[in-house]
Structure 1
């Protein structure tokens, strides 16, 4: 009857392992939710919060799996060795994912950006919503979600538009060669000085900067708060067109004169 005892013993172990697994998963879910709420209320950097929650969740589930395997009678040391070998093989098969994991750690360590920053990186642009273990979530201005692999992001150039409080808006306007230089400069100066979001320190730069094929080019550079950049950009573009029309300052367009010879 030894085989009956063994079957009963295996059944008990299996039942206990299943119960442990189900209860463990439920406890982990409650525990992770609690930790997540506490971390959300904490003063930790917003970039670290989702990453820490993900690491805790994965770590607790690994501990649970090892415990369940131990209940089934598998030697824990042997299982850990097998798990390590499996992890090595899996790592070779998923090198890209490991690269993304390393990239996530690098991004959180070097911190070239944080949650809420607007960035360009790996060919994408958007506001950083979260930095996960394998990817970073970006929200575009038209409310699209982009999931950028951390490996690509950490190995590419990143432009962070939110680091400094101010930004410079650059413009180049072309006017006809017949326009009076001083008249154009005064008109541009009036447009810039009248805009409420243009900063006077640093002082705006307005100069004749080039002689093109069809127009004289004027460069305008103004400083504004980062959050007002696009307002200033579009306002000045629109105002220049309106003011130039009012002041009879022509804005030429490229043209070509074609002469034909009569036969």
Structure 2
């Protein structure tokens, strides 16, 4: 029996499959880079670009695998039958990935946030860096990168801090009972109205809001442009302490529980 004659066709198929696989992977890398550059230059929404680039690479790799299997001589009907028979097991194994893919499609369809927005979701918060095919990439204020599966993110509550152009900054200040109420209100009004980043419309809210055990509580609410939120937050906290000291407005120390060992 001519074993060489029998083996040679299989060896040729295997060698051809390896060549096609190597060339295909190199070609996919070149194609995805070229497509990625075109996508980056396009006017598509920034949230959609990383997803399309990931999807392009995934589809090309699937087509390459199918081509290699065909070269190896596996009949496509048999291949489809095998996939169908193993479909249940594959579905169980990849149900998380399928859920994340569906979640990514849902996020890009509904658009609860875009690349560049600061969001909070699934227990994490940060600026959206990219929406990939299976996960969303966030960057925290201290420059840590968080990868959240799209399935988890799409099924949880999402807070988008960048969706609106303006935001409200809320404060509560405790003042001693002996201090004149009108004096405190005038001082707080002057502080918030003199800050260059607070908005006049809606107008600032400054009112006495509660009688505490050791202090009178004042609530201050001011509207600002979203990008000025934290600057105004810290500025007003600092200015209130400085002005209260200058105006001799007392700020009671917080009550502390003292435990004495018997």
**Superposition TM-score tier, normalisation by shorter sequence:** over 0.9
Partner SS, residue 65 of structure 1: helix
Matches within 5 A, 1:86-105: 86-105=86-105
Q: Do residues 134 (structure 1) and 134 (structure 2) align? A: yes
Structure 1 segments of 4+ aligned residues over 3 angstroms from their partners: 84-88, 254-258
Q: Distance in 2 between matches of 1:237 and 1:84?
A: 64
Deviations 1:91-133 (A, max 9, x none): 2123222222221111111110011000010000000001112
- Residue 251 of structure 2: aligned partner: 251
- Residue 149 of structure 2: aligned partner: 149
The 1:5/1:255 distance shift into structure 2, 3 A limit, reads: closer
Q: Distance in 2 between matches of 1:44 and 1:107?
A: 16
Matches within 5 A, 1:1-263: 2-255=2-255
Q: Distance in 2 between matches of 1:141 and 1:37?
A: 28
More off after superposition, 93-102 vs 227-236: 93-102
The 1:30/1:255 distance shift into structure 2, 3 A limit, reads: closer
The 1:87/1:61 distance shift into structure 2, 3 A limit, reads: farther
Unaligned runs of 5+ in 1: 259-263
Q: Distance in 2 between matches of 1:32 and 1:42?
A: 15
The 1:240/1:22 distance shift into structure 2, 3 A limit, reads: same
Partner SS, residue 70 of structure 1: helix
Q: CA deviation at 1:257?
A: 11
Q: TM-score, normalised by structure 2?
A: 0.94
Partner SS, residue 178 of structure 1: coil
Q: Superposition RMSD on alpha carbons, in Å?
A: 1.6
Q: CA deviation at 1:12?
A: 1.4
Q: TM-score, normalised by structure 1?
A: 0.94
Unaligned runs of 5+ in 2: none
Q: Distance in 2 between matches of 1:149 and 1:63?
A: 25
The 1:71/1:94 distance shift into structure 2, 3 A limit, reads: closer
The 1:257/1:97 distance shift into structure 2, 3 A limit, reads: closer
